[in-house]
Amino acid sequence: MLKRWFVIGGLVFVFLTAAGVGGWWYVRRELAPLPAGDAVEITLPKGASFAEVATILEEHGLIRNAQVFTWYVKLKAPEDASRIKAGVYRLAPGETPDDVLLHLVRGDVYVETDTFTIPEGWTVEEMAELLEQKGIVRREDFLQAANKTYEDVKYMDKIPEDRPGRKYLLEGYLFPDTYAIAKGESAESIVRRMLKRFSDIVGDDFEQKALRLGLTFDEAVTLASMIEKEAVLDEERPKIAGVFYNRLRERWRLESCATVEYVLETHKARLTLKDLEVDDPYNTYRAEGLPPGPIASPGKASLLAAVAPEEHDFFFFVAKEDGSGGHYFSKTYEEHLKQGAKSRGSF
């Protein structure tokens, strides 16, 4: 019996030793410098986590393995993981992970940068105002850039250029996020960055999901923008999407206050009957179906909800007055009135 346990113990020791040696060999291999190459330009956005930074480095061929690099830094120099400086860097493959980390901690930026944040649900015009206030680009230059076609940008071919009444061609496609850009960068370059971020987020299956629901790519983005403006709680976005789909299926007008506010260019605590009568294709109290285009830039949660609506039999929703951001959902107009709606057909 003793001999048997001795043999088992020896085997366990050999296994653990081999595993340890194999693990160390794997880590050393993944931390080895990549072959030298031409310098590449990377942008590290303000507020990015170290794991996100490591992913950017791996995607640009500056390190071998983002996960191993993250573990290595957090074990060896955890304080450095929180000292990375945002900016645009120009780095060349072939440096050790320690050298790469040193560049980022010292802030060896290639160019000086400006940083700006676009909240979810903002319009092109709100973005333009912010960028002018921060002295990044002129308002008019940004608005012009947001009304152009960029043929080399993914999904650009999904945006119809002949939709009557559409306010800005790229409304809804400039993804809300935090951006670090080079000082002096043009409005068109900024728009391209935002379009690229949108294409990274939306996913290749977005169009197929939209088509299965009877919508084009652009119509799904339009619906997502309405969900973004109507919803506050992420968990309610699919349910609100379901209300809009129910109305579209039954050929009811969507009657979304958010579309009227887009026409009025102002947010009002409560719209008047006169507001609801404004003659504009974006006014879904008067016009049938979806508006000519998006009314704001939707975030990821609203984009997902637009192509994955909750199945239910609700046709109305109205905001709760308890400050929670939630809504009451109703199947009939009578129920809707009981939940506190104050204007005809109001959501």
In eight-state DSSP terms, residue 49 is: -
User: CA 45, 51, 53, 56: dihedral to nearest 10 degrees?
Assistant: -110
Query: What is the model's pLDDT at position 13?
Result: 41
Give tens-digit pLDDT for 169-190.
999 999 999 888 878 889 999 9
Query: What is the model's pLDDT at position 341?
Result: 46
**What's the longest Cα–Cα distance across the chain?**
94
The answer to whether 71 and 24 have CB atoms below 8 angstroms apart is no
Q: In 3D, which of 290, 162, 156 has the Cα closest to residue 215? A: 290
Report residue 279: phi and psi, to 5°: -85, 95
Rounded CA-CA distance 209/304 in Å is 10
In eight-state DSSP terms, residue 81 is: G
Query: What is the model's pLDDT at position 346?
Result: 44
H helix runs in 203-332, sequence order: 206-212, 217-230, 237-249, 257-264, 273-276, 300-306
Residue 10 to residues 6, 13, 15, 78, 126, Cα–Cα distance (Å): 6, 5, 9, 37, 70
Residue 86, SS3 per DSSP: coil
Rounded CA-CA distance 104/140 in Å is 35
* Residue type at position 136: I
The contacts of residue 56 (CB under 8 Å, 6+ apart) are 42, 43, 44, 48
Q: Domain residues of the chain, as ranges?
A: 113-202, 206-338
Q: In 3D, which of 54, 73, 74 has the Cα closest to residue 64? A: 54
Which tokens go with 197? 């971020």
User: How many whole angstroms from its chain centre is CA 250?
Assistant: 31
Query: What is the model's pLDDT at position 331?
Result: 86
Rounded CA-CA distance 317/256 in Å is 10
DSSP output for 3-29: HHHHHHHHHHHHHHHHHHHHHHHHHHH
pLDDT in tens, the chain (347 residues): 444 444 344 434 434 444 445 566 788 889 898 898 888 888 888 778 999 999 999 999 999 999 999 999 998 888 988 899 888 888 889 999 999 999 999 888 766 678 899 999 999 999 999 999 999 999 999 999 999 999 888 899 999 977 788 999 999 999 999 888 878 889 999 999 999 999 999 988 999 999 999 999 999 999 999 999 999 999 999 999 999 999 999 999 999 999 999 988 777 767 788 888 888 999 999 999 999 999 999 999 999 999 999 999 999 888 887 777 788 888 888 888 777 644 344 44
User: CA 149, 150, 156, 161: dihedral to nearest 10 degrees?
Assistant: 10
Give tens-digit pLDDT for 55-108.
999 999 999 999 999 999 998 888 988 899 888 888 889 999 999 999 999 888
The contacts of residue 20 (CB under 8 Å, 6+ apart) are none
